[in-house]
Each structure stands twice: as structure tokens, then as C-alpha cells.
Amino acid sequence: MCGILGICGMTNVVNELYTGLNSLQHRGQDSAGILTCTQQFHLKKGQGLVQNIFKPKHIARLAGSLGIAHVRYPTIGGGSAEDAQPFYVSSPLGIAMAHNGNVTNYIELKKILEEKNFRHINSQCDAEVILNVFADELARHDLHKFSPDTVFTAVANVFKKVQGSYSVVGIIVNKGLFAFRDPHGIKPLIFGKKGNDSYAFASESAALDILGYKVERDVAPGEAIFIQEPVFKAPRKLFNKLIQKASHTPCIFEWVYFARPDSVMDSINVYEARLRLGEELAKEVIKKNIKADVVIPVPDSARPAAITLASVLGLPYREGLVKNRYIGRTFIMPLQESRQASVRQKLNPIKSEIKGKKILLVDDSIVRGTTSREIVNMVRNAGAKEVCLAVTCPPLKYPCVYGIDMQTKKEFIASNKQEKDIAKEIGADKIIYQPLDSLIKGVGKKTSDKSKFCTACFTGIYPTKLFDKDFKEIEKDRIKAQCMVVSP
């Protein structure tokens, strides 16, 4: 999971990129970068939070009315400084790129690029591989006759070669801003317009709202958009092409956990989806005859579901856990030790809301069980009579190969355990998972029939072509990456 932005504006866009990146900080805290373009690229990237990387001197240096930006969460690649995005190549023309996703045939493509095409890949980051495949494809054209179709043909060949998930924003010097989304649209990408001549692409609509862009629509799966720089003072022109059609399978986890509740993705309002997930989960709680005195959410993403769950059950809803907002999200912290330490610092119980009561805790997911164990323990120590944990998604069992940090199978608490054993391991009296059908119904109520979701981490059914060797390579790289992580 990463956050990306691409903006072409009337004047320098660095301030908008900086503000937009801050609004996407929840999508990655490992590194961040901004690249702008005049006749040359201006780049600043580094490790850590957006606010810590960019100083006034960098903002002053990042000139240009075209820019792209990125917040990174480590997937393939070890989270080193070299792996921070955006990346650029000088030939042909000068191309810069940032992406959100995970390339599943990264190792194979890197080998081809280095051994057959004599391109040097400097980092362990898959964005650099997509960039070089795109650059190679662009270089096959007579660039004296450059047109939007040149970009679309290059993207079509990227789609043929690059497997996995990728939402991409990029710049071609003196030509324009481009964006494309993989044929399954696994990662989100949306764009908006301000005035006559400014466009912005972002991972989430909340970033466009905050920057004052009117949302136009989501970039369609398999679509490429090119916003051409004007030759004289004419307004910019937007060109688009639906290059490859496949079944649309966006990551369902965006609505469960990742995205901001004030975002709308693929026409589904995130907050409303979470409210519906609570209603669906309540049916399961009733079916399992769970009795509780109070419903308490694990802040923040489970809060909307806890509100509706309490309402359906006719139970009081209370804030029983207080979150320190200045500690990073545990799920996206790269090392197990950082995650454990972070849970203790991040949450503190309100004992008066918990003592002597049967607590129905609501959380969005259980990955490794580390966080859940700490939280259940904390609630018990605050004097709870019973603790039941209701989870808004089904048991996570299969690795995500599309960019979420849970690639090694052994990390899942549910991979080889039944519900009662999971409850025992995390110290809860009972655990209730949302059934898969209810998850899909809850999230997808307003989506069209044609639109499905990626649910591979629950089902093991992946929307893209994958081979055993891809899993092995990804698992191997993930373990290596975890060993290489350098704290920001």
C-alpha cells in the first residue's frame, strides 16, 4: 500500500503536492518523495514522514507546474533510501514515475531489463522496473512524431509485460502528465479538475477534496490518461484510452481498513461501506448468541462498524480505548518488534467504561494476532468481565502479492487455526469473524454487478496470473526486506 499523486497546475505545484501527500500519509510512513518538472526534474525524497522530509529549502527548490509525489510503504525492496519513489530516467525524453502496487514478475523483468536491454536498475523497488519497461517501449517510437497514442501504445506493452497490481502517475518532459491503472484495477486511482487547466490524480478522493479539485471519476482498470502540455497558451488537453479490459477486482481491504473514511473509491463511499459492515456483522453476533453489555471499537477504522453494530444489537456504544494519534499505524510498521511496542504506546483504556462489563470489541481485521492480543489483554487488565472480539472481515489466510505487508504465509494467525483456538491465543472469550459473503455484500452494496473484488487473502483466489515461483520469490524478497529495514 502506497499513496500517489500527480498534478499539473497553473503555477508551481509543490505546495499542493506537499499538502496532498500529508493527506495520504496513512498509506505509507516509510518514505516520501516529490518530483517536479520545469525543463529539468527537481527531486527530493527521503525516509520517514512527509513533515520530517520536506524543509522550506526543498519546497523552494521544487519548481514547476507539473509534479508527482509518493508516500511509501515497503513491499518488495528493503525500505532503504534508494527505494524511495519517484524515480526518473533521462532517456528517452526524460520520464519520471511513481506507483502504488506490487509487480509480481519483478525478478524476471529486472533480469530481462539488465541482461537483454542493458538497462541498470539501481534500486530494489518495482516502480523502477515499470519505469524502465515503459521507457524501453517509448524508445521504440519515432519520438519526432510523439502524440498521446505514443504513450498509449507504450502503456499497452507495459500491460502485456508487467504482472501484478499497479496504479501509476508519471511525467514526460515537455510532453505532459500521464496516469494508468492495471487491467484489474486492483489499486485505486482517481482524478479531478480545478478551473480550466489544472488536473490532479490521487490514490484517494479525500486528497482531491482537500486540494480543491472537483472529482471527475476513477481511472478505469486498464485505462491510460495523458494530459498534454500546451504548445502555446492554450489549455491543456486530456486524452484517454481504455487499453485492456479485464474483470475489475479492486482490493476489498481498501474499504475495510486502508482508505480514509472520507474517501470514495470506485464509486463506493468508504464510510458508508464500514457502516454496512457493522450491520452485517451484527447478524453474525446474533446468530452466535453473543451477549454483551457494551460495544467498543478499536480506533480508528473499526469505529463506523461498531456504531451500526451497537445500534442493530440495541447496545450502548462507548469509546473505551483512546488512541495516541502521534504513533504510526501498527499494520504498516515494517518490523514485528516496532508493531508490538507501538500498540502499547498507541492505545490506552478508559477503565470506567470497561470495568465489570462484558465487552464486545470491534476490530477491522486480525493479521498476525499481535495487536489483538495486546488489546484484549489491555481490556482485561482494565477490569472487563468478558471480552469478545468481532472482526469486520473473514480470517486472513493467504499472502497478498499485490502490495500489502503480509506476504509470508506463516504470519497469519488464522492460517492453520480454528476460531476457538484463535480466541484462546489472543486471550478473548470468543471471536466472531464476518463471513465472506457478508463482507462483499457490506462493501459492495452500491457497486455494479460487473464489479467484483480481490478477496485473495481470504480465499486464495488471485485475480492475476501467478506461478508458484512468484510466491516463492515474493516470500524470499519479503524476508530479505524485513532484515534490511532501516528505521526512519
Binding of ligand SF4 at residue 88 (CB under 6 A)?
Answer: no
β-pairing, 66-72 vs 87-89, is: unpaired
Taking each helix axis as running N to C, give the angle between helix 370-381 and helix 336-346, from 0 to 180 degrees, rounded to the nearest 10: 30
**In whole angstroms, how far apart are CA 411 and each of 73, 156, 396, 414, 475?**
18, 36, 10, 9, 11
Per the CB < 8 A criterion, the answer to whether 4 and 170 are in contact is no
Which positions from 385 to 404 touch ligand SF4 by CB under 6 A, shown as an x/- string? ---------------x-x-x
Smaller CB separation from ligand SF4, 7 or 186: 186
Question: Where in 45-84 is the site for ligand SF4 (CB under 6 A)?
Answer: none
Q: Which residues are CB-neighbours of 444 under 8 A, at least 6 positions away?
A: 268, 451, 453
Of the two residues 295 and 396, which places its CB atom closer to ligand SF4 in the complex?
396
Q: Is 7 in the site for ligand SF4 (CB under 6 A)?
A: no
Residues 252-291, one symbol each (x = binds ligand SF4 by CB under 6 A, - = not), give xx--------------------------------------
Shortest distance (Å) from residue 133 CB to ligand SF4: 21
Which range of residues in 16-24, 54-62, 151-159, 448-456 is near ligand SF4 by CB under 6 A? 448-456
Rounded Cα distance between 326 and 336, Å, is 19
- Nearest distance from residue 474's CB to ligand SF4, in Å? 12
Which residue, chain included where needed, has cell 487455526?
417
What gap in Å lies between CA 213 and CA 414, rounded to an integer?
A: 42
Q: Is 400 a catalytic residue?
A: no
CB 41 within 8 A of CB 97: no
Site for ligand SF4 in 196-255 (CB under 6 A): 251-253
What's the CA gap between 215 and 213, in Å, rounded? 6
- The grid cell for 307 is 456504531
Between residues 431 and 456, which has the closer beta carbon with respect to ligand SF4? Answer: 456
Using CB under 6 A as the binding rule, the residues of this chain from 134 to 193 that contact ligand SF4 are 186
454 lines the binding site for ligand SF4 (CB under 6 A): yes
Cβ at position 186, least distance to ligand SF4 in Å: 5
- Tell me if 404 sits within 8 A of 457, measured CB to CB: yes
> Could you tell me the smallest distance in angstroms from the CB atom of residue 256 to ligand SF4?
9
Give the nearer residue to ligand SF4 in terms of CB position, either 50 or 252. Answer: 252
> In the bound complex, what is the minimum distance in angstroms from residue 401's beta carbon to ligand SF4?
7
Give the integer Cα–Cα distance in Å for 302 and 196.
Answer: 39
Which residue stretch of 35-43, 125-133, 148-156, 452-460 sits at the interface with ligand SF4 (rule: CB under 6 A)? 452-460
Q: Indicate which single residue of 455, 464, 474, 477 sits in contact with ligand SF4 (rule: CB under 6 A).
A: 455
Q: Number of residues interacting with ligand SF4: please give it, by CB under 6 A.
A: 11
Q: Which residues pair with 102 in a beta bridge?
A: 165
Judged by beta carbon, residue 109 or residue 456, the one nearer ligand SF4 is 456
Q: Report the site for ligand SF4 in 402-431 (rule: CB under 6 A).
A: 402, 404
Work out the angle at residue 229's Cα, subtended by the Cα atoms of residues 225 and 235, and round it to the nearest 5 degrees: 95
Name the β-bridge partners of 193. Answer: 199, 214
Least distance from C-beta 215 to ligand SF4, angstroms? 23
Nearer to ligand SF4, 253 or 412 (CB): 253
Q: b/e map of 311-350 (b: 16 or more CB within 10 Å)? A: ebbebebbebbeeeeeebbbbbbbeeeebbebbeebbebe
Contact 97, 68 (CB under 8 A): yes
* Shortest distance (Å) from residue 7 CB to ligand SF4: 26
Burial (CB count within 10 angstroms: exposed 0-12, middle 13-18, buried 19+), residue 25: middle
Active-site residues: which are they?
2
Binding site for ligand SF4 (CB under 6 A): 186, 251-253, 400, 402, 404, 454-457
